[in-house]
Structure 1
Amino acid sequence: MPRISKQPRIEPLSPPYDEEAGQALDLLGHSPIQLFRVWARRPELARSIAGWGSYYFSRRSALTVRQRELVIDRTTALCGADYEWAVHVAGFAEKAGFDGAQLASLAAGRPTDDCWDASDRAVLEAVDELHTTFDLCDDTWANLVSVANEDAALDLVLICGWYHAVSFAVRALRLPLEPGTDPIAAS
């Protein structure tokens, strides 16, 4: 089996940032976590990502904060992306109203776990099916639209895909956890 190191592969930028990198980090609108500081090595990439991300973290998204975080946390858990899981759980789990049982279920449970209501279950079933089959069957789509709407279903598909890409990046980059955050297995 090939060797897989745990060492970071690309060093994030460190302060002081040059003007272009600083502007790119400002556009990302968050504290300069390691992932953003890696993206800021290529400011044009960071600016593109900032535009896409600002939509999904704004009031313009058709998903509620809870639905968005269900999608992100479940996707990153399924992908084994400890870094991104940890950042989102630390930053949004409380805002999304997740309790300990729900975090444990997101990490390693199933959409049918008793901690989920029908609306949450429909979101999680869609995420799991997208992860497994890269598609949604008609019943899963209809169930999702019945608890959200078509716009929210579209946002779910796009966010799920985006966080697969982010999960690939943080795993391949071997980003260590941010201080004060916990990996998936700790949930």
Structure 2
Amino acid sequence: MTPRLPEAPGEGPTADLLRARRGGVLSTLDRLLLHSPPVAEGWNALLGALRGGTTLPADLRELVVLRVAVLAGAEFEWAAHEPIARRAGLTDLHLRVLRADDATAEPVWTPAQAAVLAFTDASAGAVTVPDPVFAAVREHLDDRGVVELAVLVGGYAMVARFLVALEIPPPEGEVPG
């Protein structure tokens, strides 16, 4: 599979910003974003903050990213984040359950993971987060954590929609930073 658009040249100050966050490399996703330098710069800042500037524990962050990938059918997102999720402590069992229709029904999650997963399903699916789901998240996250969780779900839903709409094929493993 090839993307629906050709890759833009990986040159210029915006490409350098993306490359700096990615440890010197550009992904196919980055090269497509470079068709719009202002969008690429904003994307880079937001995703950099979500990947490296939040207080959310890594297991919760990657749980959200992978669940959003499943809900949106974004195989690129799954392939890029599965190795990160494994390093954050998610197991083969967790990864299998995340692909299930009702991943929250399986008793493999810590209470915090279950609450975050239910929030992710609600926010990424129906958009509305029911009061009981929100209350469950509040038992585990402070105000900053709730803000970061909500933006993480929305941010990675944006990533997933971009990847799926442009038919960006999965990478060969993890995509840096």
User: Shared fold by TM > 0.5?
Assistant: yes
| Partners of 1:27 and 1:47 within 8 A in 2 | no
User: 2:144 is aligned with what amino acid?
Assistant: D
Q: For residue 91 of structure 2, what is the aligned residue in structure 1?
A: 99
Q: Does 1:159 align with 2:136?
A: no
Q: Is the 8 A contact 1:27 1:50 kept in 2?
A: no
Structure 1 stretches lacking a partner, 5+ long: 1-5, 182-187
**1:15-68 superposed Cα distances (whole Å, 9 cap, x missing partner):** xx323353232344343111011112322221111111221122x313111111
1:120-135 matches, within 5 Å, as 120-135=113-128
Aligned-residue offset at 1:162: 1.3
Quote the offset at 1:132 in angstroms: 2.9
Structure 2 partner of 1:72: 65
| Structure-2-length-normalised TM-score | 0.87
Distance 2:32 2:64 in 1: 24
Cα RMSD (Å): 1.9
Opposite residue 8 of structure 1, the aligned amino acid is P
Residue 12 in 1 paired to residue 4 in 2?
Answer: no
Cα distance in 1 between the residues matched to 2:99 and 2:86 = 16
**Deviation sequence 1:77-112 (CA, Å, 0-9, x none):** 11111111111113x122211110100111225112
Q: Secondary structure at the match of 2:139?
A: helix
In the alignment, which residue of structure 1 is the partner of 2:43? 49
Cα distance in 2 for partners of 1:103, 1:45 equals 32
Of 32, 47, 53, which residue of structure 2 is paired with 1:38?
32
Query: Does the CA contact (< 8 Å) of 2:4 and 2:167 recur in 1?
Result: yes
Structure 2 gap ranges (5+): none
Q: Distance in 1 between matches of 2:113 and 2:17?
A: 35
Q: How many residues align?
A: 172
Against the structure 1 CA distance between its residues 125 and 158, is the aligned structure 2 distance closer, same or farther, given a 3 Å change threshold? same
Q: 1:180 to 1:132 in 2, by over 3 A?
A: closer
Q: Would the aligned equivalents of 1:87 and 1:178 in 2 still touch at CA under 8 Å?
A: yes
Q: Are the aligned partners of 1:28 and 1:36 in contact in 2 as well (CA < 8 Å)? A: no
Tell which structure's C-alpha radius of gyration is larger.
1
Greater relative contact order (CA < 8 Å, ≥ 6 in sequence): 2
Distance in 1, matches of 2:154 and 2:109, equals 23
> Which residue number corresponds to residue 109 of structure 2?
116
**Structure-2 separation of matches of 1:24 and 1:161:** 23
2: distance between equivalents of 1:142 and 1:57? 25
Per-residue deviation, 1:144: 0.2
Structure 2 distance, partners of 1:180, 1:163, is 18
